[in-house]
Amino acid sequence: MKVNRFKDNPIITPNDVSPYHENHEVIGVFNAGIAEYNGETLMLLRVAERPLSQNDNVVKASVINSSNKESKLKLIELDRQDPAYDFSDPRTIRLVEKEETAFLTSLSYVRLARSRDGQNFTVDAQPFLYPEVELEAWGIEDPRVTQIEDTYYIQYSAVSEKGVGVGLISTKDFNSYERHGLMLHPENKDVAIFPEKINGKYYALHRPVPKGIGRPEIWIAESANLLHWGNHKHLLGLSEDGWDSGRIGGGAIPFKTEKGWLEIYHAADTEDRYCLGAVLLDLDNPSKVLSKTDEPILAPEADYEVNGFFDQVVFTCGVTLQDDRIRIYYGVADTSMALAEISLKELLDKLTYEKIPEGEGI
């Protein structure tokens, strides 16, 4: 299948965004949710900022202290030689004895970027969504946006020491917004709410990460009001080997085609190489899988996809659709944003029907 990467990729990089916090650097501008509003394409950028450290032996981490009215940003300083901590993962600082995550190395929040042509974006100077509550103390990550009539529902990872849950915020104008708390409890992320009711119910894809039994796979839930979710069903599992054997999760907001609901999702292998795949769900019953791609539709190949803060990642939170053209906005290497186009018809032709395991999605 032909994938047209945009010639000016990556379209936004950390160099294009000035840090919001003093004495911090922007290390990632990625995994943006996509909305079409008021004639513009909006990217809800996940911006990750890391505190600068003048001393290589001092490791700093920033968290939000929501109960402190004056200075919400709290700077942690750790001694790199302290044997209580493991600093080897670029994303997290771990407590050695308890085998727990102590801090993240960066703090994420959401900033808007706006474009008339969907290709050239201008980034807002101020955050749009900033951590405000205890369950977001470690950041707001990977937003996705579902438009239902004139309201935009933003689903995002709410990260804190209590876990990674799924926060829900609604807005009508991308200026003011309303918080609805966690729509799903930890550990869960990669939620994608369908853009309309199906047989009287709302649906959402989600990706729990169970500890004792089970794998990081795609589930589907239903709701009467978008705030409360239930009747959870397992939708799509890992393969035993290959590109989708490590973890899979929702990507873009699903969109309607003649053949079914089309979802472009992400899958990683056991080496943490992230690709994009597609799955087609029944129009009347989206908990039924009709078909899926055997091979990735987009894999990390370009230099900006292969090399970055976390190598070998393509990861989408949103697409736009115009006639036969699917524009995939995707984060690359946990660092920047890129853009690629594929043909809807070619993608539907690529979906295969014979590889769905029996009982899957039922």
Nearer to its own copies, 284 or 324 (CB): 284
Q: Report how far Cα 126 is from the mean position of its chain's Cα atoms.
A: 21
Does position 338 interact with its own copies (CB under 8 A)? The reply is no
For residue 320 the two structure tokens come to: 């736009």
Q: Please check whether residue 263 is in contact with residue 252, taking contact to mean a CB–CB distance below 8 angstroms.
A: yes
Rule CB under 8 A: choose which of 72, 234, 256, 259 binds its own copies. Answer: 234
Q: Name the minimum Å distance from CB 197 to its own copies.
A: 14
| Coil, strand or helix at 118 | coil
Residue 136, amino acid:
E
Does position 329 interact with its own copies (CB under 8 A)? The reply is no
Whole-angstrom distance, CA of residue 176 vs CA of residue 194: 23
Q: Name the minimum Å distance from CB 217 to its own copies.
A: 8
Whole-angstrom distance, CA of residue 150 vs CA of residue 172: 6
Q: Name the minimum Å distance from CB 126 to its own copies.
A: 27
Does position 159 interact with its own copies (CB under 8 A)? The reply is yes
Rule CB under 8 A: choose which of 33, 118, 208, 308 binds its own copies. Answer: 208
Nearer to its own copies, 53 or 223 (CB): 223
Q: Name the minimum Å distance from CB 360 to its own copies.
A: 10
Rule CB under 8 A: choose which of 5, 6, 37, 163 binds its own copies. Answer: 163
Rule CB under 8 A: choose which of 39, 83, 200, 212 binds its own copies. Answer: 212
Nearer to its own copies, 5 or 234 (CB): 234
Question: What does 82-108 look like in DSSP terms, one character per residue?
Answer: -TTEE--SSSEEEETTTTEEEEESSEE
Q: Name the minimum Å distance from CB 35 to its own copies.
A: 22
Q: Name the minimum Å distance from CB 66 to its own copies.
A: 9
The CA–CA distances, whole Å, from 295 to 54, 58, 224, 242 equal 45, 44, 35, 9
Nearer to its own copies, 208 or 300 (CB): 208
For residue 275 the two structure tokens come to: 């690709």
Does position 268 interact with its own copies (CB under 8 A)? The reply is no
In this structure, is the dihedral angle defined by the CA atoms of residues 26, 27, 30 and 32, taken in order, positive or negative? negative
CB-based contacts of 119, cutoff 8 Å, min separation 6: 6, 8, 11, 339
CB-based contacts of 292, cutoff 8 Å, min separation 6: 236, 277, 278, 279, 280, 351, 352, 355, 356
How many residues form the binding site for its own copies (CB under 8 A)? 50
Token pair 């966690």: residue = 182
Does position 135 interact with its own copies (CB under 8 A)? The reply is yes
Q: Considering only 15-23, 55-63, 201-209, 320-328, which stretch makes contact with its own copies by CB under 8 A?
A: 201-209
Nearer to its own copies, 127 or 163 (CB): 163
Q: Please check whether residue 344 is in contact with residue 260, taking contact to mean a CB–CB distance below 8 angstroms.
A: no
Whole-angstrom distance, CA of residue 289 vs CA of residue 317: 20
Rule CB under 8 A: choose which of 8, 77, 82, 100 binds its own copies. Answer: 100
Q: Name the minimum Å distance from CB 48 to its own copies.
A: 16
Does position 359 interact with its own copies (CB under 8 A)? The reply is yes
CB-based contacts of 127, cutoff 8 Å, min separation 6: 20, 47, 109, 110, 111
Rule CB under 8 A: choose which of 83, 88, 225, 258 binds its own copies. Answer: 225
Q: Scanning residues 33 to 92, which ones bind its own copies (CB under 8 A)?
A: 67
Q: Which residues bind its own copies (CB under 8 A)?
A: 67, 100-101, 134-135, 138, 159-165, 168, 180-188, 206, 208-215, 217, 219, 221-225, 227-234, 358-359, 362
